[in-house]
Amino acid sequence: MKYFQRVRVIARAGCLVVCVVCAPAVADQPSGDNIYAILQAGEDTDPVADLSELPKETDNWNNTLLTYVWVVSIDGEVRAGSSSADVNIEFADILDRFSGGASLIYEGHNDDWMVYFDGTALILEDEVSPTGIKLDIETTMAIAEGGIGHRITNEAFPKALVGLRYIGLDVEIDSSVGSAKSDFDSIFDPFVGIYHKHQFNDKWGLRALADIGGFGVGTDLSWGLGVGLTYAFERDWTAELGYRILDLDYDGDKIDFDGRLEGFYLGLGKSF
Residue 15 phi, psi (nearest 5): -65, -40
Nearest to 213 by CA among 191, 245, 188: 191
Return the pLDDT at 59.
Answer: 65
pLDDT of residue 18: 40
Task: Identify the pLDDT of residue 94.
Answer: 67
Instruction: Return the exposure string of 241-251: e unless at least 16 CB atoms fall within 10 Å of the residue's CB, then b.
Output: ebebebbbbbe
pLDDT at position 10 is 40
What is the C-alpha to C-alpha distance for residues 87 and 138, in angstroms, rounded to an integer?
A: 10
Distance CA(159)–CA(196), nearest Å, equals 6
pLDDT value for 54 = 46
Residue from 111, 116, 117 nearest 151 by CA: 111
Q: 250 Cβ partners below 8 Å, 6+ apart?
A: 167, 169, 185, 187, 218, 219, 220, 222, 256, 257, 258
Q: What is the residue-level pLDDT of the chain in tens, covering all 272 positions?
A: 444 444 343 444 444 434 433 444 444 444 545 545 544 555 454 544 444 444 444 468 999 999 999 998 889 999 887 778 888 877 767 666 667 889 999 999 998 999 999 999 998 888 877 666 788 888 899 999 999 999 988 777 899 999 999 999 999 888 777 667 889 999 999 999 999 999 999 999 999 999 999 999 999 999 999 999 999 999 999 999 999 999 999 999 889 999 999 999 999 999 99
Which one-letter DSSP state was computed for residue 93? Answer: G
Report the residue count for the chain: 272
Report the amino acid identity of residue 40. Q
Alpha carbon distance 95, 186 (integer Å): 29
Whole-angstrom Cα distance, residue 265 to residue 84? 29
Domain architecture of the chain: domains with CATH: 2-51 (no CATH), 63-271 (2.40.128)
Tell me, rounded to whole angstroms, the distance of Cα 147 from its chain centroid: 9
Cβ contact 240:266 at 8 Å: yes
Q: Is the torsion defined by CA of 75, 81, 84, 90 positive or negative?
A: negative
> What pLDDT score was predicted for residue 81?
79
Q: How far, rounded to the nearest angstrom, does the alpha carbon of residue 140 sit from its chain's CA centroid?
A: 26
Compute the CA torsion angle 139, 140, 146, 150 (nearest 10 deg).
40
**First-to-final CA distance of the chain:** 89
Strand partners, 118: 105, 145
